[in-house]
Structure 1
């Protein structure tokens, strides 16, 4: 296992406090290798605070190259770096953590492999029960979505704003919103209780990625959920 040299954002005392803000998820269908790293750098300069490397291909050499380069980029800028689904890859490169879905490795098994300091997030779709179970199993944050229709997952269940309000009041961990978010819709989702706004196309497909990220980042200039910024 690679030695994890976490920045202060991922320390046991402060890591969940840094689970807020713009959360970008890579689009490796259109951007790969150096172009992908450059694109992610633009989003970080615009204000992205969390980066998730998501790639469903079987090109292991490319995936290792990209994940390692993005890990180094995020460490340089003190941005959290997570891997989608692949606990083995996260362990190999010493990523800050992983994001797991319903079909992914069990959260407890991921925690055992990655250790107590790793950030582990869980997709909970439109189900508060799944979120409760994930928190009970030790998830550091939970994600609900799709909030709005999305081309990435057009058949994804829809998570209501009421769900974010419930989760915000009950769960005690940061909450991530994903799915069809735009700069125009982001404020209402943030106000409903989302601590993080996860985006793909709205940033990576934008003509100016840094500006798009900055516009999302500006949404976090005011508190969510009635003033609780966790």
Structure 2
């Protein structure tokens, strides 16, 4: 597997983070940018991401990257206990207004959490807000994942949203889980794995995030996630 320096990885990750949500990271473009980053840094031709790494990176396309996008204007917010604001509503990709159906507040980075929620439609979306915009965020759901800087966006925009195709036939009617890993901004991306072979490259981070979590210090840093969807419809017997 091609080894990339921390600078190579950060250059690629940050270019996508700066692009904002809704911009998928496709394998050919990641490969091209990784090559360009290496040429800029060393003047030599870069090597393509290969094998398992390239296959893993492909799943980023569903979610895109985090952070860096402009705020979409003022929004009414729910003030959560950790001091990070969440919009009460969010605007979906089709222009629909979605409501906050689930939120969680956390005060530590350097570990993973599982967020469980009950979707009401196939257009569920989510947003993650962080007190430190430079922390790294990995989101995994099923076989899909997204990775990038948290960013400092505010407003009613979503970080990611499902549709009927990406949600799949088993999305509704049961709780769903998002696996969220938050790593500090100085996580050793691209550096040699302690006590093992290889580096903390994208393949390692996406497939085995616990390996990176073992070497970063857990530290106080506030963040929150909000899940948005259409409100659940009440049955006629619910009115009282």
TM over 0.5: no
Shorter-chain TM range is under 0.3
Q: TM-score, normalised by structure 1?
A: 0.27
Specify which structure has the higher proportion of strand.
2
Tell me which structure has the larger Cα radius of gyration: 2
TM-score for the superposition, normalised by structure 2: 0.26
Higher relative contact order (CA 8 A, sep 6+): 2
